[in-house]
Amino acid sequence: MAQKINIMIKGGEFLIKETNAQDIFIPEDWNEEQLMIAEMCRDFLKQNVSNQLDEIDHQQEGLMPELLEKAGALGLLGISVPEAYNGIGKNFVTSMLTTEVMGAGHSFAVALAAHTGIGTLPILYYGNEEQKKKYIPKLATGEWKGCYCLTEPDAGSDANSGKTKATLSADGKHYILNGQKMWITNAGFADVFTVFAKIDDDKNLSAFIIEKNFQGLSLGNEENKMGIKGSSTRQVFFNDCKVPVENLLSTRENGFKIAVNILNLGRIKLGGAALGAAKEVINKSVNYANEREQFGRSIAKYGAIKYKLAEQAIRTYATESVTYRASRNIEDATKFYIESGMNEAQAKLKGTEQFAIEAAIIKVHASETLDYVVDEGVQIYGGMGYSAEAPMDRSYRDSRINRIFEGTNEINRMLSVDMMLKRTLKGELDLMGPAQKVAAELMSIPDFSNDEKDGFAKDHMYLKNFKKAILMTAGAAVQKLMQSLSKEQEVIMYLADMLIETYVAESLLLRVAKLSAKQQNELTDLKMDIARVYIYDAAERIYHAGRNAINAFAEGDERRMMLMGLKRFTKVEEMNTVAARRRIADKLIAENRYCF
């Protein structure tokens, strides 16, 4: 009998519960099959994408659809699609690995992600059996290409305010759609459009499956964008577009829920893609630093460059740690729901929804990590970094969209805090009890004892205290601001930054703790350096965000007490981060690649 899967931790509970390092997934645990899939993805990029990036960016006629079809022939479009629909049915962690590796593919990565994610999953997860049998096999092989039509000129972050309308025809056989969508990825060559519109005067959106040859559908011209120039991005117009009633996806007014749940998936997958892009930029940065000579030696020998290379690696390794921790959580939750009696599609949605907070955090952290990595990549290249003849130009421009895609980072920051508070109000998370304990602790003598578990006792204590800093600040903000908290966006953003730094730092620590229990070598020691430098710097970032939040709503003795508590909770031992970063950089330089 198969072992029953239990959800080790529910979404958001990382803030109030400890996680055992042995319970998380770390990339050092990849099995042989997963590594082979990753290598196949790298080979695909090398043979089909990296050698024709200019042609892709110039949108050479038919090239992107051809590349998607080639990927489909290898099974790369159907990694997470069940075998019954022409997919290969791999688990969520494996699908994240393919997303990561393909993330180095610039505009192709965007087209691929849009097709396999928002272009396919709404039908796979919400379609009836007839719809799935008709569309999914062809989407999984690349015979048909998919896209997703949600955004409108006046409906971006506020997606449910869209004005595209659907009315039932007099004979009851068709919905007649009128309206327009914008920023639609893959629109120029898509065969299948998942379109969101309101039926009559409904409050919420409904979703429809529309084929490109349906009467009344037309496209605008290709958008001229800052980056991801090879990605087809067009407006889509519906002028009395006739949609068979059987192409209503799910139920009436369920479109907004579909959009939200698919975006949860899109957010964590974006994190994986940004991770792959960051690793590729680090490879190029190290290569160039080793080759470029100034003042008689390679620039990789200079401390200022070593700092940049090391920090690129630290932030990227941290992003990788948090992305795969959450990916495994989603996978375990999905298995739990299946074993509890849910069908597979519902279980996958529920598993992702359970970790929507973590997905929002990862989207923000990964996109900002990539922006940092490419910015420093340009700087390492110097004047050549600014040249369109060198690779950093494309990387720099292509990275910027990620802070806007899948909900802006501002929206995702606010969502992460809002979802935490809503789950608390519903009784799904007990944040107030721990927050009250922390408030009481402010009046007590600090406890400097720690429980030696795995050689990381002090580090575990730091993370416990970071969580106390959040609970103290957020608890006081809720109590003080009450209903007006939702209007205090600056305070919410600072709380989100504290939450993001803590979750990422803990994920990184747990990964290194698990790894060090299995093996001890030079690379493990360097990964310990990565974790400890990140935690050291995170303490300062958490203190900065907490202080700004507290100063925004507290006064007098209350403020003084909370600021003292914040300083206590973000106190870490001094360390020589210069030496640690040099050790990390020296390994990168010796290997001439990202090697962590």
Q: Do 123 and 143 have their domain in common?
A: yes
Q: What is the pLDDT of residue 229?
A: 97
pLDDT digits (tens, 9 = 90+) for 521-563: 899 999 999 999 999 999 999 999 999 999 999 999 999 999 9
406 as an active site residue: the answer is: yes
Tell me if the pTM is above 0.85: yes
Domain of 216, CATH number, reads: 2.40.110.10
240-274 per-residue burial string, b: 16 or more CB within 10 A, e: under 16: ebbbeeebbbbeeebbbbbbebbbbbbbbbbbbbb
Q: What is the mean pLDDT of residues 213-233?
A: 97
**Residue 580 covered by a domain:** yes
Stretch 146-167: mean pLDDT, rounded? 90
Strands annotated E in 56-126 = none
Same domain flag for 39 and 69: yes
Q: What is the CATH number of the domain that holds 435?
A: 1.20.140.10
Q: Are 327 and 270 in contact (CB under 8 A)?
A: no
Same domain, 301 and 407: yes
Judgement on whether residues 299 and 163 belong to the same structural domain of the protein: no
Give the CATH number for residue 61.
1.10.540.10
Looking at residue 241, its pLDDT comes to: 98
**Who has greater pLDDT, 155 or 215?**
215
| Pair (225, 139) in one structural domain | no
Q: H/E element holding 206?
A: strand 206-211
Same domain, 580 and 435: yes
Among residues 406, 490, 506, 555, the one annotated as catalytic is: 406
Q: What is the pLDDT of residues 240-280, one digit of tens each?
A: 999 999 999 999 999 999 998 998 999 999 999 999 999 99
Same domain? 265 vs 407: yes
Amino acid at the residue 94: T
State yes or no: pLDDT of 303 exceeds 50: yes
Per-residue pLDDT band at 349 (split at 50, 70, 90): very high
The span from the CA of 269 to the CA of 64, in Å, is 21
Is 404 in the same domain as 461? Answer: no
Distance CA(45)–CA(273), nearest Å, equals 14
d(CA 287, CA 588): 10
Give the domain-ending residue among 147, 173, 203.
147
**pLDDT tier for residue 103 given thresholds of 50, 70 and 90:** very high
**pLDDT band per the 50, 70, 90 thresholds, residue 446:** low
For residues 447 and 273, the model is more confident at 273
Indicate if 153 and 143 belong to the same structural domain. no
Which pLDDT score is estimated for 8?
55
CA distance 394 to 328: 32
| 169 and 127 co-located in one domain | no
**pLDDT of 439:** 86
| Residue 7 φ then ψ, to 5° | -75, 110
Domain range enclosing 21: 13-147
Q: Say which residues have a Cβ less than 8 Å from residue 561's Cβ, sequence separation at least 6.
A: 442
Total tally of structural domains belonging to the chain: 4
What pLDDT score does 483 carry? 85
User: Which residue reads 């299948």 in tokens?
Assistant: 192
- Classify residue 78: in a domain, yes or no: yes
Q: What is the reported pLDDT for 453? A: 53
pLDDT recorded at residue 2: 41
pLDDT score, position 567: 97
Choosing from 200, 228, 249, the residue where a domain stops is 249
Q: Which one of 100, 131, 147 terminates a domain?
A: 147
Q: Does a structural domain hold residue 2?
A: no
Domain assignment present for 6:
no
**Closest by Cα among 590, 494, 587, 572 to 534:** 572
